Structure 1
Amino acid sequence: MTGFRRGLRAALPLMLGLAPFGLVVGVVSQGQGLTLFETLLMSAAVYAGTAQLLTMQLWADPAPLLAAALATFAVNVRMVPMGAALAPVLDRMRGWRRWLAAGTIVDHSFALGVADMRGGARDGGFLLGIGVVLWLAWVLVATLGHVFGGLVRLPAGSPLFFAATATFCALLVPLWRGRRELWPWLLAAGVALAAARLGLPQPVPLLGGALSGAALAAWQERRA
């Protein structure tokens, strides 16, 4: 329980970045004609803001199921190496706790979980506490966005949209391990920005940056 409470406390500041993103998902779902129950079910089951927005951008009649499935797979395939990296923590858990912790891993909980591991901890309760709080907050905020969709409809350039990006940038701080990681990070950022400037559709910039940075980091590890 000590680790779970630590996770709860660690997750609270992350809600500042989570809330605007979740509100946008709720507003978009309301604009696309989803019912409140459908929005609640999608947010609880999918639990991936980028994938939800991408799917709703592709929303049409008839629904392009294959295209939506491939797009969301490409966006969320990064969760596979994330789970593998957290295996030393997940392997210490049993039963429903392991499945719940693995099922609620997102970028935020991954970053904090890795930072906790690097500090010498192997506490599954910490990871579970973060995941549960963020999952509940996500479902609640997306639901509120749907309910108050007409009131919280924000202009395209609203600074609130930057809150989610700012949160992801802040999460990079505990992952930094020194100048050796500088070149993979710069390569990942450069490739992603270049792909976005060329007008390539998502998730090409995201995947291009992630894979190029990971490839360079792996090459550096082999040389070392």
Structure 2
Amino acid sequence: MTDPSPSPVHISRAGILHGARVMIPLMPGLAVFGMAFGAAAAQKGFTALETALSSGLVFAGLAQMVALEGWSQTWTPAGLLALALLTFTINMRHFLMAASMRPWLGELPGWQAYPSLFLLADNNWAAAMRYRAKGGSDAGFYIGSGLITWVFWVLSSVAGQVIGGGIPDPKRFAIDLVVPAFFVAMLVPNWKGRREAVGWGVAAAVSVTASYLVPGWWFIVIGAVTGALAGGFADD
């Protein structure tokens, strides 16, 4: 007896609610990350509205953090180009993430599939791909998981801006450690064996060294490229 054909890809309210419910346990961690961004934005002089617009329209946590660190009251063409290149490099992973969803979302009409990519983030992408791997076909799961992520990110960013505006030195309260801790926590579930240590170790060592030798945020690009090359050579 052959397996039944998979259900056609569709979007339903039940799927949206299912995706949102699955993401709820991750929201406290995301909220802490968002509040850290909001507090940092307040220190840069952002208003609550500007913080909300940044998180609501850009919706890219690490890229927003990097842009904020390099934020200046006066801009030069070279400075803008450097910041644009750096944020582009950081977000290049979204190309691969979106491409991996093509076999699924590609079955939807373009007016549904392409706008939904605005909701693409690391956490809901991972949850959606697990759901799809188990045979799920309702694209509403991905949309619902992305919507709740977006809402929590915007609200926590604004809350962080309001609270952080009254903190004279966020480092005294270890706010600057929230982002590294968040991404370390994201890395742990992706550990697949000792071979992963080659790429990760090289990326960490090179990026830390580069942070002392090269000004700005270029150490992120340098570490990512060298780590990817090392991981490629270590792989069969």
Query: TM-score range with shorter-chain normalisation?
Result: 0.7 to 0.9
CA–CA separation in structure 1 for the residues paired with 2:229 and 2:70: 27
Kindly report which structure 2 residues correspond to 1:7-18, keeping only aligned pairs within 5 A, or say none: 7-18=19-30
CA–CA separation in structure 1 for the residues paired with 2:189 and 2:39: 32
CA–CA separation in structure 2 for the residues paired with 1:111 and 1:23: 23
Match of 2:198 in 1: 187
Deviation at residue 51 of structure 1 after TM alignment: 1.0
Match of 2:117 among 77, 102, 110: 102
Deviation at residue 147 of structure 1 after TM alignment: 1.7
CA–CA separation in structure 1 for the residues paired with 2:224 and 2:70: 19
CA–CA separation in structure 2 for the residues paired with 1:209 and 1:197: 12
- Unaligned runs of at least 5 residues, structure 1: none
Match of 1:215 in 2: 232
Deviation at residue 152 of structure 1 after TM alignment: 6.0
Deviation at residue 2 of structure 1 after TM alignment: 2.2
CA–CA separation in structure 1 for the residues paired with 2:142 and 2:227: 23
State the Cα deviation string for residues 14-73 of structure 1 (Å, max 9, x = none).
Answer: 112111111111111111112222211111111111111111111123222212111110
Match of 1:92 in 2: 107
Given residue 212 of structure 1, which amino acid in structure 2 is its aligned partner? L
**Do the aligned partners of residues 158 and 34 (structure 1) sit closer, same or farther apart at CA in structure 2, a change above 3 Å counting?**
closer
Larger Cα-atom Rg: 2
The answer to whether the aligner puts 1:119 opposite 2:130 as a matched pair is: no
Deviation at residue 157 of structure 1 after TM alignment: 7.0
Preserved CA contact (<8 Å) 1:187 1:209: no
CA–CA separation in structure 2 for the residues paired with 1:161 and 1:31: 12
Given residue 20 of structure 1, which amino acid in structure 2 is its aligned partner? V
State the Cα deviation string for residues 94-141 of structure 1 (Å, max 9, x = none).
Answer: 344323421111110121122222222233111111111101111111
Match of 1:21 in 2: 33
Match of 1:43 among 35, 41, 55: 55
**Do the aligned partners of residues 162 and 28 (structure 1) sit closer, same or farther apart at CA in structure 2, a change above 3 Å counting?**
closer
Preserved CA contact (<8 Å) 1:109 1:130: yes
Number of positions where the alignment pairs a residue of Structure 1 with one of Structure 2: 215
* Secondary structure of 2:45's aligned partner: coil
Match of 1:4 in 2: 16
CA–CA separation in structure 2 for the residues paired with 1:162 and 1:17: 13
CA–CA separation in structure 1 for the residues paired with 2:73 and 2:165: 24
Given residue 134 of structure 2, which amino acid in structure 1 is its aligned partner? G
Match of 2:4 in 1: none
* Secondary structure of 1:33's aligned partner: coil
Match of 1:68 in 2: 83
- Unaligned runs of at least 5 residues, structure 2: 1-12, 212-217
CA–CA separation in structure 2 for the residues paired with 1:194 and 1:174: 21
Match of 1:203 in 2: 220
Given residue 141 of structure 2, which amino acid in structure 1 is its aligned partner? F
CA–CA separation in structure 2 for the residues paired with 1:119 and 1:37: 41
CA–CA separation in structure 2 for the residues paired with 1:10 and 1:213: 35
CA–CA separation in structure 1 for the residues paired with 2:87 and 2:144: 26
